[in-house]
Amino acid sequence: MKAQRKTSRPNNRGKSKSGKVSVYESKPTRVKRGRSLTPEQFVGIKERQYFLQKILDTEPGTVYIYDLEERRNVYVNRHWLLAFGYTEEETQAMGNELLTRIFHPDDLARISAHHENWRQAGEGEIREIEYRVRTKTGEWCWLHSHEAPFTQDESGKVKQILGISYEVTPRKLAQEALRQSEQQLGLIYDTISDITFLLAVEPDDRYRFVSVNRAFLRATGLRSEQVTGRYADEIIPLASQNLVFGNYRRAIQERAPVTWEEVSEYPAGKKTAIVTVNAVYNEADICTHLVGAVHDITERKQSEKALLESEEKFSKVFYASPVALSITRMSDGHYVEVNESFLKRMGYQREEVIGRTAQEIGAWAIPIQREEMLRILREQGSLRNFESQFRTKSGEVGMALLFREIIEIAGEKHFIGTTLDITERKQMEEAVLKERDFSDAMLNSLPGIFYFYDNTGKFLRWNRNLEVVSGYSADEIARMHPLDFFVGKEKEYIAQRIQEVFEKGESDAEANFVTKNGELTPYYFTGRRIDIEGIPYLIGMGIDITQRKQAEEELRKLNLELEQRIAARTEELAAAMIRAQESDRLKSAFLATMSHELRTPLNSIIGFTGVILQGLAGPLNEEQTKQLNMTRDSARHLLALINDVLDISKIEAGRLEILKRPFDMRQTVERVLRIVQPPAQKKNLQLVISIGTNVGIVNNDHRRVEQVLINLINNAIKFTERGEVRVECQVRDGWLETSVRDTGIGIKPEDMDKLFKPFQQIDTGLARVHEGTGLGLAICKRLVTGMGGEITVESKWGIGSMFKFTLPM
Amino acid sequence: MAKILIIEDNEQNLYLETFILQKNGHEVIQARSGEKGIAVAAQIFPDLILLDIQLPGMDGYTVAEELRKNPKIADIPIIAVTSYAMPGDRERILEAGCADYIEKPINPDTFHAEITQYLKGGSAIHPAA
């Protein structure tokens, strides 16, 4: 359907585009162009116009028709003019600028957008808009407009709109004020860190969250949409609901704020809070809302808990301390608190002490000490290391070290007291002092000087002797160094010795000790290192060795004398030895010479007589033979004598020579037999030889063995008139045993001793003078002994004798 | 029958020893001093030398050593004839290079037998070991 265009034309035709506003007056309607109205139409229209005009003019609101294209009101009703105070002429004069002049700049954008939207609108739409306009007097007033499309253009877009507006300024202002105040309230509301919430109280004890502030959301970790509009029983944890709702009910009933502490588990964690709710009543005195404030005391609770724990801790410390602790109120001196150690030591029960003073319980053994303690405490505010005596319940008195500190408790001055029982310590100190006195007495009784110093040479302990001997006082010694007691080279020497003590553990030294007046005394010092708690010290003694030194000097002199004498003596001895050696040499020379000289003539005698007797020099008659024999026998005898004499001389001169060489014993025996055969035969004696099978090579002097054997056999022959001479030889236990047995006259027991002694001829009582030098057996013994063996004799007077000698193989 | 050199200064000893040896059929050369003995030995190369130890001047030990030094005559056995009295004499004799020794005064009965042992290469008079 084609939209009806009702355009208003201004009185001045053709000026509609200049923005002039038309005012419907009771003027004839312009008829559409090109058409003419019938009178009926005309009347009808007029009537309708009049009717419309009346309506429009009666209408309390302002009516206007706004052209969206031309951007101006093309019609406004009378009220519009009145409302704004403009005359028609003025309104016309404003033209297009009307809108910009009368609309509030803040609303212009909105209005423009609103108008734009109208272009697209459909026919039957009604839209509302509120905006401000300025009256002639400059005031702003709010208008609320209802608008509808009035005409469209060719394309169907809305061209003109018809609007009716009412002034809503009061309401708007109120709204605005409310909005602002709400905004402010909202800000405050949200800024409060305390949680606030508003519950609507609904029938059946149900509570619904109307609003909660940001703090609430933060605390609970919920989002606004999760809370607002929800019921409290959906939000508040089930476990707390009984308590919470009970309190709500109480608040409602008692018409007074109710406060309680609540622990709740929220997504953000467990929280402890103090909740207060207050009921709000309407005019009918029915509770409609509950306003609640929640003060999160989680942190406070935690600090409270921490504080409690800390208190507990310290409380434990106080009570469990091994040291006696007490807290006393200063104003009256009453014990406010004591710990177990205190009670135990003093021997009291808690109730006997708390509320009473120290004097009342008799703790002060010496009242004056209490005065003193209080004085110091007052002057200095605290007490340290105060020694005093205390008395326990049982009357025992002990020594204590007191410490007192003034503190404030609940605004009142108290002092905390620490009491250290030093009774034992004091006893030990005394004991130590006694010990020290004792050791001092001991050290002072030492005969020498005693010293004890550290490795810097600082004297720590010494005995009185050191002072007496050195002439220095105790004070002086305390400042001296060990080396101060020495001079010259000895200083260095002693320094070295001291170092040796510290390095090797001990040392000693002899040096001259210098007294204060410069006197020197020879001393012997010892030093030992001892470590006490890891620190090295030197401890030692010094002894006056003046006497020893003198003795040493005398000894030295004596020694010197002695040495001189010895030297002299040694010289003498050396000379004597030389002389002896000389004499020895002479003896040897003598023996050698004698041996040679004596034997040489005999060589001729024996030799020539032998040769002649052999017939080598020609035939002999019987008488010549006989006499030559006698001559030769004598010569042989002489030779034997010479040999014996030389032998015994050698023996006596210690020059017996034994040459051990392996030799065949059998051969030696055989040789000996050859030699002794003739004399044995002459006396018609049997010569019996028995040589053991194990007799073979013997390691000894074969010459001497021969000599002994010959001697023994010759003796046997000499002393035997009839019978036999038996020679036996065997090896037994590594020894060569040779025996010469005869059936001769034997030897008397009393003569046995003389046998082996030189020059002791035994008187056999026989007529014949026995040949021999008396040296034979003596020589035998010497020879056998010299060869490492033994010679023995067994004999029976009148039966016979056996001479046995053993030799090492 | 051997050539025997006797080095001996005592006339009687010399006479005795020579007499016995000659009577036993040996050729005897005499030297009355050590030096002479050495010279003679080197000239005549005896089969045996009888050396008196107790010689004046160059004593027997030295003579023996000297005889041993000469390689030509070093092998000739020397028998020392000695009064033998002092300790060490035996060693010295043997060390000087003598094969053996005979003691003075000699035993005229056994003298020749003892010597000829060396001529025959028989066993020693005194074990020289």
Q: Give per-residue pLDDT as tens, A535-570.
A: 999 999 999 988 888 888 999 999 899 888 888 888
Kindly tell me if the per-residue pLDDT of A756 is higher than 80: no
Residues within 8 A of A (CB atoms), B 25-84 only = 54, 83-84
% of chain B exceeding 90 in pLDDT: 47
- CA A202 to mean position of chain CA atoms: 74
Tell me the count of A-B CB pairs closer than 8 A: 87
Q: A16: pLDDT confidence band, cut at 50, 70 and 90?
A: very low
B11 CB within 8 Å of a chain A CB: no
Say if residues A271 and A264 touch (Cβ distance below 8 Å). Answer: yes
Quick one: pLDDT at residue A158? 83
pLDDT at B31 over 90: yes
CA distances from A285 to A229, A289, A292, A595, B112 (A): 24, 11, 19, 177, 185
pLDDT at A768: 43
Q: Residues, chain B, total?
A: 129
How far apart, in whole angstroms, are the C-alpha atoms of residue A88 and residue B67?
191
How far apart (Å, rounded) are the C-alpha atoms in residues A714 and A708? 10
Binary contact (B86, A606; C-beta < 8 A): no
Look at residue B71 and tell me whether its pLDDT is greater than 80. yes
Contact A663 B127 (CB under 8 A): yes
The SS3 call for residue A32 is: coil
Residue B12 distance to chain A (closest CA, Å): 6
Sign (positive or negative) of CA dihedral A531, A535, A536, A541: negative
Question: Residues B108, B20: contact at Cβ < 8 Å?
Answer: yes
Lowest mean pLDDT among A7-16, A447-456, A658-667, A669-678: A7-16
| Three-class secondary structure assignment of A207-218 | EEEEEECHHHHH
> Residue A294 — very low, low, confident or very high, per pLDDT cuts 50/70/90?
confident
Measured between CA atoms, how close is B92 to chain A, in angstroms?
13
Asked if B87 is an interface residue toward chain A (Cβ–Cβ < 8 A), one would say yes
Tell me whether residues B87 and A595 touch, CB distance under 8 A.
Answer: no
Confidence class for position A771, pLDDT limits 50, 70, 90? low
Give the pLDDT score at A13. Answer: 44
Could you tell me which of A588, A633, A586 has the C-alpha nearest to residue A610? Answer: A633
Identify the residue among A603, A629, A658, A707 best suited for mutation to test binding to B, counting B beta carbons within 10 A and taking the highest.
A603
**Chain A partners within 8 Å of B102 (Cβ):** none
Closest Cβ opposite residue A604 in set B12, B54, B85:
B12
Has residue A767 got a pLDDT over 50?
no
Give residue A526's identity as a one-letter amino acid code.
T
B1 shares contact with chain A (CB less than 8 Å): no
Separation between Cα atoms, residue B100 and residue B126, nearest integer Å: 6
Question: Does the structure show a pLDDT above 70 at A655?
Answer: no
According to DSSP, residue A61 is labeled S
Minimum distance, in Å, between the CA of residue B38 and any CA atom of chain A: 23
Partners of B87 on chain A (C-beta within 8 Å) are 650, 655-657
Q: Chain A contacts of B90, Cβ < 8 Å?
A: 659
pLDDT digits (tens, 9 = 90+) for A29-79: 455 555 565 666 666 666 777 777 777 777 667 788 888 888 777 777 777
CA–CA distance, B4 with B49 (Å, rounded to integer)? 6
In this predicted model, what pLDDT tens digit does every residue of A710-738 receive, in sequence order? 889 988 888 888 888 999 999 988 899 99
Nearest-Cα residue of chain A relative to residue B13: A604
- Locate B68 and state its tokens: 């041993």
Phi, psi angle pair for A254, to nearest 5°? -85, -5
Cα Rg, chain A, nearest whole Å: 80
Please give the Cα distance from A778 to A623 (Å, whole number). 38
Q: What pLDDT is recorded for position A759? A: 59
User: Which among A592, A606, A646 has the least Cβ separation from residue B105?
Assistant: A606
Q: Which chain B residues are Cβ-neighbours of A616 within 8 angstroms?
A: 19-20, 23
What's the CA gap between B29 and B51, in Å, rounded? Answer: 12
Question: Burial of A737 by CB count in 10 Å (0-12 exposed, 13-18 middle, 19+ buried)?
Answer: middle
Q: Is the Cβ pair B19, A604 closer than 8 Å?
A: no
What's the CA angle centered on A494, arms A491 and A495, to 5 degrees? Answer: 80
Subunit contact B83:A606, Cβ cutoff 8 A:
no
pLDDT category at B16 given cuts 50, 70, 90 is very high
Structure tokens at A471: 């002439």
B23: contact with A, CB 8 A cutoff:
yes
CA–CA separation, A318 and A325 (whole Å): 7
Which residue matches tokens 């026989």? A766
Cβ-Cβ contacts under 8 Å, A600 against chain B:
10, 12-13, 83, 104-105
Q: How far is Cα B59 from Cα A89, in angstroms, rounded to an integer? A: 194
Is the CB of residue A589 less than 8 Å away from at least one CB of chain B? Answer: no
Question: Hey, which bits of chain B come out as E strands?
Answer: 3-7, 27-31, 48-52, 78-82, 100-103
Higher pLDDT, A689 or A593: A689
Alpha helices in A481-545 (DSSP H): 489-504
Cβ-nearest to B105 among A603, A614, A661: A603
For residue A186, give every residue at least 6 positions away whose Cβ sits within 8 Å of its Cβ, in sequence order, or none: none
Residues A80 and A127: beta-carbon distance below 8 Å: no
- Contact: B88, A639; criterion CB under 8 Å: no
Asked if A590 has any chain B CB less than 8 Å from its own CB, the reply is no
B94 touches chain A (CB under 8 A): no
For A640, name the nearest residue in chain B, comparing CA atoms only: B105
Using CA coordinates, name the residue in chain A closest to B123. Answer: A667
pLDDT digits (tens, 9 = 90+) for A312-340: 888 888 888 888 899 999 888 899 889 88
**A792 in B contact zone (CB under 8 Å):** no
Sheet containing strand A724-732, edge to edge, reads A686-691, A724-732, A735-742, A800-808, A790-796
A19: left (phi over 0), alpha (psi -120 to 50) or beta: left
Would you place residue B129 in the very low, low, confident or very high pLDDT band (cuts 50, 70, 90)? very low
**How far is residue A5's CA from residue A541's CA, in Å, rounded to a whole number?**
145
The predicted model scores a pTM of 0.35
Range among A364-368, A767-771, B46-50, B79-83 rated most confident: B46-50
Task: Give the best residue of A586, A611, A636, A647 to mutate against chain B (max B CB count within 10 A).
Answer: A611
Question: Region A343-350: what's the mean pLDDT?
Answer: 90
The pLDDT value recorded for residue A702 is: 86
Specify the 3-state DSSP secondary structure of A298: helix
CA angle in degrees (0–180, nearest 5) for A346-A347-A348? 95
Residue A320 tokens, joined: 């469990």
A211 touches chain B (CB under 8 A): no
Owner of token pair 């970790």: A221
Q: Does A543 touch chain B (CB under 8 A)?
A: no
> What are the φ and ψ backbone dihedral angles of A35, each rounded to 5 degrees?
-120, 150
Bridge partner residues of A661 (DSSP): A700
What gap in Å lies between CA A710 and CA A367, rounded to an integer?
125
CB A429 within 8 A of CB A410: no
Please tell me whether the interface predicted TM-score (ipTM) of this complex is above 0.85. Answer: no
Say what percent of chain A tops pLDDT 70: 88
**Of A198-202, A279-283, A498-502, A590-594, where does mean pLDDT reach its minimum?**
A590-594
Mean pLDDT of B15-27: 92
Q: Which residue from B minimizes the CA distance to A600?
A: B105
Contact B108 A600 (CB under 8 A): no
The model's pLDDT over A242-257, given as tens digits with 9 standing for 90+, comes to 888 899 999 888 888 8
Question: CB–CB of A72/A99 below 8 Å?
Answer: yes
Q: pLDDT tens across A297-309, in order? A: 777 777 778 888 8
What span, in angstroms and rounded, lies between the C-alpha atoms of A456 and B84?
Answer: 85
Give the whole-angstrom CA distance, residue A162 versus residue A246.
Answer: 60
Residues A338 and A319: their CA atoms lie apart, in Å, by 8
SS3 B108: coil
Bridge partners (DSSP) listed for residue A134? A140
For residue A15, the model assigns a pLDDT of: 40
Q: What pLDDT score was predicted for residue A200?
A: 86
| Under 8 Å between Cβ of A563 and A548 | no
Indicate the SS3 state at residue B68.
helix
CB–CB of A680/A687 below 8 Å?
A: yes
Select the residue of A600, A657, A702 nearest B10 (Cβ to Cβ). Answer: A600
Span A480-489, average pLDDT = 92
CB contact under 8 A, A661 and B129: yes
The pLDDT of residue B79: 93
**Chain A partners within 8 Å of B19 (Cβ):** 611, 616-617
Distance between CA A214 and CA A526 in Å, rounded?
93
Rg (Cα) of chain B, in Å, rounded? Answer: 13
Hey, are the CB atoms on B86 and A608 less than 8 Å from each other? no
Shortest alpha-carbon distance between residue B16 and chain A (Å): 7
Q: Which is more confident, A485 or A50?
A: A485
Q: How far is A806 from chain B (nearest CA, A)?
A: 22
DSSP code at position A513: E
Mean pLDDT in chain A? 82
- The partner residue sitting opposite A603, judged by closest CB among B13, B88, B109, is B13
Angle, vertex CA A575, rays to CA A573 and CA A577, nearest 5: 65
Residue A276 in tokens: 């207060």
User: Would you call B3 helix, strand, or coil by DSSP?
Assistant: strand
Q: At what angle do helices B60-69 and B34-44 cross, to 10 degrees?
A: 30
The full DSSP string for A357-410 is BTTTTT-BSSHHHHHHHHHHHHHHSEEEEEEEEEE-TT--EEEEEEEEEEEEET
Strands B78-82 and A382-391: unpaired
- Supply the DSSP symbol for A484: G
Do you find a cis peptide bond into B105, omega within 30 degrees of 0?
yes
On chain B, the residues whose CB falls within 8 A of the CB of A635 are 105
Nearest to A128 by CA among A110, A140, A141: A110
At residue A147, the pLDDT reads 87
Nearest to A195 by CA among A78, A315, A297: A297
* N- to C-terminal Cα separation, chain B: 28
The CA distance from A643 to the nearest CA of chain B, in Å, is 9
In this prediction, residue A154 carries a pLDDT of 81
pLDDT category of residue A270 using cuts at 50, 70 and 90: confident
- Residue A103 gets which letter from DSSP? B
Q: Give the mean model confidence (pLDDT) for residues A404-424.
A: 86
Tell me whether residues A702 and B127 touch, CB distance under 8 A.
yes
Chain B contact present for A586, CB below 8 A: no
Question: Using CA atoms, how far apart are residues A546 and A512, in angstroms rounded to an integer?
Answer: 10
- Judged by a CB distance cut-off of 8 A, whether residue A608 touches chain B is yes
- Residue A288 tokens read as 């409609």
How far is the first Cα of chain A from the last one, in angstroms, to the nearest whole number? Answer: 177
Interchain pair B86, A591: CB under 8 A: yes
- A731 has which bridge partners? A736
> Which of A671, A687, A690 lies closest to A679 in space, CA to CA?
A687
